[in-house]
Every structure is written in structure tokens, then in C-alpha cells.
């Protein structure tokens, strides 16, 4: 590894010189203070320093940058807004291809109900532009006001409305990808049917290990005719999580079904004052949308199901302002944690819905074992958990305990038949836990696919794939944070 880094360092000056000489003269950042800004993504525990950062403006710029990296065999990492939470948007000594300047909506095609966008387009901005004409981009990560669609593709991001509308992959029609050798691969198109092997699902969620996405054709979803948002209040977390399955078993398919526990409620109400009752142990934020008659029928059915299970009467947002405030509380809950703790560490395991109650119970037990408070947000309808492990990095041992706590929670998800990630990706964070989830045969074929696209391992190396046969359990993170 050290020899590899030395080789990168020796060739970096040539790479930077060639980057400066490119047509169009894309900006190249090399000052240590500038590089520090790109040393981590949303996962602050994984920090590496890139050799340089270059900001392309076109697909041709990316192609030229990648060809230089390929010529010198120096690694490169595509980066969007840096909001990812698994250490995937970092590079140790290599080139970061920062895509924030590629932020144009190339075309909005309403007859074909799609749009062509560059990867740096902010998720929420596309819906802002299309909403006046009755359409939106359905994937809605909690960071959607800053995260980019290119990053959503890299991580196959979800969000609260995944339950009804699906993850990013379900809304991608086509991709333009600059491969690690500089060749350009076009996948899909505005048409919605294809023959042969579909490579879009392989590229989506590959976390930049197969190439750099430079243009995306996305599906636009018609805005629902009506939407109604409800707050269900519980005096026990288990009652809230049990209710999730009961609602779905009754045939109600909410657009979103989110759970927020007491610690999160306290944080939200101390900052945003979204109207969550601080006496509650948990709330479910539930949204129904679609045809008005169907929504009304489901609303009545919902009232009947929950009537005897709530600690307070079910509340409904009375107008768009009320609805927006309830959702603001959910989407800013993690950011509100600064009121309760100087730092927190979140992961995003997944469990089958029917095991959500015992999973949350086990998470609280694991937190107590490690002497750490754990707040919980869940895309409950999907079984996608987001435990927020609160810790103080200034207190001896707490960083290590937060990592150990997270590892144990993720292993619990696997024990309950779930997954290591629902939307944050594997990145550098969970790669050494992957053998706990998949067989050696699966990992072999996954890496063989990576080698077809990326034979020299130049595109975002050190991500997804474990570096050893065993489960190192965040070894790379621990080495950098606990010295």
C-alpha cells in the first residue's frame, strides 16, 4: 500500500501538469487548504487527502481527465455534493473529479415524461423546475436540497417516498458513462423498453467503481392529484413499529411511512418545532397520495386500524404549510442532533418489515451495552433503519465505541435476514463486512464484473470490495480515527 502511494505521489506532478494543459483549462485545485475540503464526505470518520481536484464542465472534459489518469495509472474518484455517508466520495492521493459544475438540465421532455440532466444537478432543483407543469423527480433523499442526481445514481439513493415510488434505479432511463479507459458508453434512452442485457442496473449503485456518469435520462412522475399527511403518536416504540406491518397488511400502500423516536423528537422540537409531541416515545409520519377517492377510502381505513393503538388522536396536516412543517421535521431530524450531542454516527441497515420491532429493541440494547445513546429514524415502510449513535469525540474511547456499536447493529440486521445498506452504499465504511452478507462466489463474480469495466482498479479504488477474506470491521476507519 505504501509503495502504491509513493508511486502515485511520484507521478502526480505530471498528471497535474497535463490537467492544466487540457483544452478549456478545467480548474485544478492543489493547495492543501483546498484539498482538505475534499478529504471526507458525510462520513467524517473516514478521511483521506486527494492528490488534486479537477472540475470538468463537459463529458469531453471528463473523458480527457480520465485518459490522463489512465495514462499514468493514477486512481480517480467522481464526487458530487459530498453528502454521501459511507466514505465513498474520497480519494487517497488520487484525482477527485468534482462534478458540481456539470449542473445543467439539458432537456425537459414532457411528452416523453423524462428529463436529461448532468450529474451535478441538485435533486430538489429538478422537481422545482418541473412542478409548475405537473411533474416531479420521485426519489427524495433527506439531503435532496443539496445532494446531486449523479450521487443518487452512484448510491442508488432512496428516501421517504421509496415505499410507493421506488429507489433511484426505478427512475433511470438512460446513462452516459465515461469508462475508466476514457471510452464513452451510452446506455438506455428515452424509450422505456429494451432488449438484451440491461447494464443500467449494474451501473446504478456501483459507487463510481465502473466509470463516471456524465449525463442521465430520468423519469418524471406526474404529481399526485391529492396528498394527505398524518401524524400517528405512540407511547411505546414497539407499538409504532408493529403498526407498520398492520397498516400494510390491511392493503394500504402509503406514499411514505416514517418512524421517529423520542430522542429524534426532542432534537427536532428544540430546533424546528415541527409539532411532534415531546411526550411521545415514537411517531409515525404517514402520507397517502393519488386519486382523491382512493386516498379518502384509505384514510378512513387507516383511522379504523389505528383508533385503539395511539396514545393521542391521529393528527392530519390541515394545509400545505402544516404538511411542509411535518416533513421538514423528518428531513432535518439528523441535522438537529447537534442539540443533543457534539457528534453522531449513522448507518442504514435494512431488515424485513416484520422484524422491525425486535430490531429496534436490539438496537437500544446494543446502545446501552456500549454506553451510548442511540436515536432512531426509519423508512419504516421499507424496513430501512437509520440509527443515530450519539458520541463525544473528545471523550476517550467514545469514537471507538460508536464504531463498534454500528458494526454490531449492522450484524444484527444480517442476523435478522436484512442488508448492510439500503441507500448509503458500502463505500469504504462497510466493505470489510461484505463477506458477512455474501458468499465467496458472489463476491468473486461481483469483482469480476468490476474488472471488466475497470481492469486496472483506477475508478474509485478501495470502495465496496473487501481487501481481505475476513470481516475487518471498519479497519480502515479505526486506523484513521483511533491512533
Question: What is the tens place of the pLDDT at every residue in 366-422?
Answer: 999 999 999 999 999 999 999 999 999 999 999 999 999 999 999 999 999 999 999
Question: What is residue 286's three-state secondary structure?
Answer: strand
On whether the CB atoms of residues 340 and 266 are closer than 8 A, the answer is yes
On whether the CB atoms of residues 98 and 36 are closer than 8 A, the answer is no
CA dist., res. 302 & res. 281, Å (int): 21
Q: pLDDT value at position 44?
A: 87
C-alpha distances in Å from residue 75, one per residue of 32, 58, 223, 300 = 19, 20, 42, 57
DSSP state of 399: H
Question: What is residue 350's three-state secondary structure?
Answer: strand
Residue 352 burial (CB < 10 Å; 0-12/13-18/19+)?
Answer: middle
C-alpha distances in Å from residue 337, one per residue of 94, 265, 425 = 33, 10, 22
26-47 residues labelled b (16+ CB within 10 A) or e (exposed): bebbbeeeebeebbbbbbebbb
Q: pLDDT value at position 4?
A: 59
C-alpha distances in Å from residue 100, one per residue of 54, 147, 457, 461 = 10, 10, 24, 21
- pLDDT tens string, the chain, 483 residues long: the values are 566 566 667 789 999 999 999 998 999 999 999 999 999 999 988 899 999 999 999 999 999 999 999 999 999 999 999 999 999 999 999 999 999 999 999 999 999 999 999 999 999 999 999 999 999 999 999 999 999 999 999 999 999 999 999 999 999 999 999 999 999 999 999 998 878 899 999 999 999 999 999 999 999 999 999 999 999 999 999 999 999 999 999 999 999 999 999 999 999 999 999 999 999 999 999 999 999 999 999 999 999 999 999 999 999 999 999 999 999 999 999 999 999 999 999 999 999 999 999 999 999 999 999 999 999 999 999 999 999 999 999 999 999 999 999 999 999 999 999 999 999 999 999 999 999 999 999 999 999 999 999 999 999 999 999 985 444 444 444 444 444
C-alpha distances in Å from residue 105, one per residue of 115, 131, 167, 216, 223 = 7, 14, 21, 10, 19
Question: What is residue 70's three-state secondary structure?
Answer: helix
Closest Cα partner for 360 from 219, 242, 252, 451?
A: 242
CA dist., res. 320 & res. 300, Å (int): 21
Closest Cα partner for 79 from 20, 139, 45, 37?
A: 37
Helix runs in 21-137, H state only = 32-36, 59-72, 123-130
On whether the CB atoms of residues 469 and 219 are closer than 8 A, the answer is no
Q: pLDDT value at position 7?
A: 66
Contacts of 129 (CB under 8 A, 6+ apart): 105, 108
Torsion of CA 120, 118, 169, 264, to 10 degrees: 20
pLDDT per residue as tens digits for the range 319-329 = 999 999 999 99
Task: Estimate to the nearest angstrom the gap between the alpha carbon of 73 and the chain centroid.
Answer: 29
| End-to-end Cα, the chain, rounded Å | 19
Q: pLDDT value at position 3?
A: 60
Question: What is residue 63's three-state secondary structure?
Answer: helix
Q: What is the C-alpha radius of gyration for the chain, rounded to an integer number of angstroms?
A: 23
pTM of this prediction? 0.93
Q: Which residue segments constitute the domains of the chain, with CATH numbers given?
A: 2-98 (3.30.43.10), 105-222 (3.30.465.10), 226-334 (3.30.70.2190), 337-481 (3.30.70.2740)
Q: pLDDT value at position 194?
A: 77
Closest Cα partner for 472 from 428, 440, 441, 438?
A: 428
pLDDT per residue as tens digits for the range 67-81 = 999 999 999 999 999
CA dist., res. 294 & res. 252, Å (int): 10
Amino acid at each position: 500500500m505504501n509503495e502504491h502511494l509513493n508511486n502515485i505521489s511520484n507521478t502526480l506532478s505530471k498528471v497535474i501538469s497535463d490537467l492544466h494543459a487540457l483544452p478549456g483549462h478545467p480548474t485544478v485545485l492543489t493547495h492543501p487548504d483546498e484539498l482538505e475540503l475534499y478529504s471526507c464526505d458525510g462520513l467524517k470518520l473516514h478521511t483521506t487527502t486527494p492528490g488534486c481536484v479537477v472540475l470538468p464542465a463537459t463529458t469531453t472534459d471528463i473523458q480527457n481527465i480520465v485518459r490522463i489518469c489512465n495514462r499514468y495509472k493514477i486512481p480517480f474518484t467522481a464526487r458530487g455534493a459530498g453528502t454521501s455517508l459511507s466514505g465513498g466520495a474520497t480519494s487517497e492521493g488520487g484525482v477527485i473529479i468534482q462534478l458540481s459544475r456539470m449542473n445543467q438540465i439539458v432537456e425537459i421532455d414532457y411528452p416523453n415524461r423524462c428529463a436529461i440532466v448532468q450529474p451535478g444537478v441538485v435533486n430538489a432543483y429538478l422537481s422545482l423546475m418541473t412542478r409548475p407543469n405537473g411533474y416531479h423527480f420521485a426519489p427524495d433523499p433527506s439531503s435532496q436540497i443539496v445532494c446531486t442526481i449523479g450521487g443518487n445514481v452512484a448510491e442508488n439513493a432512496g428516501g421517504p417516498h421509496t415505499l410507493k415510488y421506488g429507489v433511484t434505479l426505478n427512475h433511470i432511463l438512460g446513462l452516459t458513462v465515461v469508462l475508466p479507459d476514457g471510452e464513452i458508453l451510452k446506455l438506455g434512452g428515452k424509450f422505456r423498453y429494451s432488449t438484451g442485457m440491461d447494464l443500467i442496473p449494474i451501473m446504478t449503485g456501483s459507487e463510481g467503481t465502473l466509470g463516471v456518469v456524465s449525463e442521465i435520462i430520468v423519469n418524471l412522475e406526474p404529481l399526485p392529484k391529492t396528498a394527505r399527511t398524518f401524524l400517528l403518536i405512540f407511547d411505546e416504540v414497539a407499538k409504532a413499529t408493529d403498526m407498520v406491518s398492520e397498516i400494510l397488511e390491511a392493503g394500504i400502500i402509503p406514499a411514505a411511512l416514517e418512524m421517529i423516536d423520542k430522542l429524534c423528537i426532542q432534537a427536532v422540537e428544540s430546533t424546528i418545532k415541527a409539532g411532534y409531541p415531546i411526550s411521545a416515545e415514537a411517531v409515525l409520519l404517514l402520507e397517502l397520495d393519488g386519486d382523491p377517492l382512493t386516498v379518502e377510502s384509505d384514510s378512513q381505513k387507516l383511522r379504523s386500524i389505528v383508533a385503539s393503538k395511539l396514545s393521542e388522536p391521529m393528527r392530519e396536516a390541515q394545509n400545505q404549510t402544516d404538511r411542509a412543517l411535518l416533513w421538514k421535521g423528518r428531513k432535518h431530524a439528523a441535522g438537529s442532533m447537534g442539540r443533543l450531542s457534539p457528534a453522531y454516527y449513522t448507518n442504514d441497515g435494512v431488515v424485513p418489515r416484520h422484524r422491525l420491532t425486535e430490531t429496534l429493541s436490539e438496537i437500544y440494547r446494543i446502545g446501552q451495552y456500549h454506553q451510548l445513546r442511540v436515536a432512531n429514524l426509519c423508512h419504516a415502510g421499507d424496513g430501512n433503519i437509520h440509527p443515530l449513535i450519539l458520541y463525544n469525540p473528545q471523550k476517550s474511547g467514545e469514537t471507538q465505541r460508536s464504531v463498534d456499536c454500528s458494526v454490531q447493529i449492522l450484524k444484527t440486521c444480517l442476523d435478522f435476514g436484512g442488508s448492510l445498506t439500503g441507500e448509503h452504499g458500502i463505500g469504504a465504511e462497510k466493505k470489510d463486512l461484505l463477506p458477512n452478507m455474501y458468499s465467496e462466489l458472489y463476491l468473486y463474480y461481483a469483482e469480476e464484473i468490476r474488472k471488466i469495466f475497470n481492469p486496472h482498479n483506477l475508478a474509485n479504488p478501495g470502495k465496496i470490495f473487501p481487501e481481505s477474506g475476513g470481516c475487518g470491521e471498519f479497519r480502515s476507519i479505526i486506523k484513521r480515527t483511533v491512533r
